Chain A
Amino acid sequence: MARARSLRISREYEPPDRMSSLTSSYPKSVADEKDFRGARVLIIDDDPTYRFLLRELCLKLGIGQIIEAENGEDGVHHADTFKPDLVILDVVMPGIDGLEVCRRLRADDHNKTLPILVQTGLKSDADRVECFAAGASDVVSKPINIPEFTARVQTHLRNAMYAKSLADFRQRIEMHLDIMRGFIKGILPSAEMVKEITQRNGYEISVRQKMHEEVGGDLWYIHECAPGRILITLLDAAAHGLAGAISALRIDGMMQELRRNIDQPDKMLRELDSVMSHAPCECLFAAVTAVMLDSYTNTLMYAASGNPHPILCQNGEVKVLACGGLPLGSGYAATDLNIAAFNPGDSLVVHTDGWPVEKDAEAVAVIHEKLKQNGVISADSLVGPNPPTDDLTILTVRRL
């Protein structure tokens, strides 16, 4: 017998700066920054000799833009117009002193994280504490120690530039997330469309969605297949956040064509499983529930793959409609067709696995309780106040 050989794959969490190889716009490491040509420094000091000295020190560091103010009022004004990356500020000045300048700068939300390096001849600990209390980021003594001063300026500028690049990066990501949210909103059925379809066919629908992150992989749709017959689909892509949203949009696109020609939900899911499993990307998976309601025959046909079981409320009873199998995309999804009566007064609850109920029995108990309290069931009454640990969609349909 050959000796067992071991191959260990264990990976500790890696710090995010590895991502810089993926995008050149990702913020660089703080310690690497030596180029201060893009930095902007404001010097506020009433002593022209000191202003000259500080300017020369900044120029030696390669700082690109430096402006000076000879009093506190001008300093506050320049901070507003010049938008510096660092302020070097004297304390003792005629007019408003450096501490008041600090307070005024910090009062502006835009300057909450602005590095303010206060230089002061005041020696006591209490004086230094007062500087920090006024909003100083750092305090250096006058007369300045040049090596120490330049080291502090470099440190503050590096931090400021890194913070700025992080803020820019965040802004770009927010923009892309906004665009993604727009795409998703465009896919989801509008309130008007839902009202029109449901009123025409004798149903009432309520839906609540809560995403775990800024965007998510849950989508739902309603489609009128024929007079009296509507199809509701609920999709939960097997990913979170941006990846989940992209997958969900892609799968919904595949479903568009299938919805138009549907006659049974199980066939639609089987076709979708086949299409998804043959997609170039092998990572496309989703839990899907498809329910077809027929108001002429008072029936519902349903099939599901991977989602929690639908729950039917009928004649005061709440029961689980067992169905389901592997998520779609595997190529092995077994999606059986199920049929149940759906009479006036009956309600159906379908949901993704973001609803924090441990098992079907708990879901049934919750729905029972809400029915007792309110007489009817709605998605709003089922969604709790806590933020979800996974994307959540709850949809209820009532036959009028």
Chain B
Amino acid sequence: MKAPSIDITVQDKDVTVRMQGVLSFHHHREGDELVENLSRLVTDKQAQTVHFDMAQVDMLDSHWLSILIRVLRRMRDKKVDMVIERPSNEVKKLFEVVQMDRVLTVRN
């Protein structure tokens, strides 16, 4: 299965993670790396907010939902806000089931 594309950009105190493609259990290594790299980056750059741009995500499974939750916990520990931006329709469906908007900001 083709690996997803994950680009991280930093501007001032904002970190943006742009994700594209299918995010599934097969890409668990990319998920683990994302959690660790993002953790280090927000500390190094003293970031205040992490934005996840999910407009180009074709599919997100329960494993990657748990990746997002791991990131959320780490960001909360560091007092950094986390925002989901422009979730694709597939992502929106999953977020509705798990009521993601109860724990973090989701902007359409």
Contact = CB atoms under 8 A, between A and B. Distances in A.
**Do the two chains bind?**
yes
Interface residues of B, number: 34
Interface in B70-101: 70, 72-73, 93, 97-100
Interface string A2-33: 11111111111100000000000000000000
Contacts of B10: 4-5, 7
A239 interface: yes
A282 to B, nearest CB: 6
Given A326-B103, A334-B102, A238 B9 contact: no
Contacts of B7: 6-10
A1 interface: yes
Contacts of A282: 70, 73
A339 B41 CA distance: 46
A11 B30 CA distance: 7
Given A11-B30, A327-B98, A1 B8 contact: no
A9 B8 contact: yes
A277 B74 CA distance: 12
Contacts of B69: 285, 326-327, 329-330, 332
Interface in A351-368: 353, 359
Nearest to B21: A10
A232 interface: no
Contacts of A5: 9-10
Q: Looking at B63, B72, B98, which has the most chain A CB atoms within 10 Å of its CB? A: B98
B30 A9 contact: yes
A11 to B, nearest CB: 5
Contacts of B25: 239-240
A327 B66 CA distance: 8
A353 to B, nearest CB: 7
26 contacts: A5-B9, A6-B8, A6-B9, A8-B6, A9-B7, A9-B30, A10-B6, A10-B7, A11-B30, A11-B33, A13-B2, A239-B25, A239-B63, A240-B63, A282-B73, A287-B62, A306-B65, A306-B98, A324-B98, A324-B99, A326-B69, A327-B66, A329-B66, A329-B69, A331-B73, A390-B61
Interface of B: 1-3, 5-12, 25, 29-30, 33-34, 37, 41, 61-63, 65-66, 69-70, 72-73, 93, 97-100, 102-103
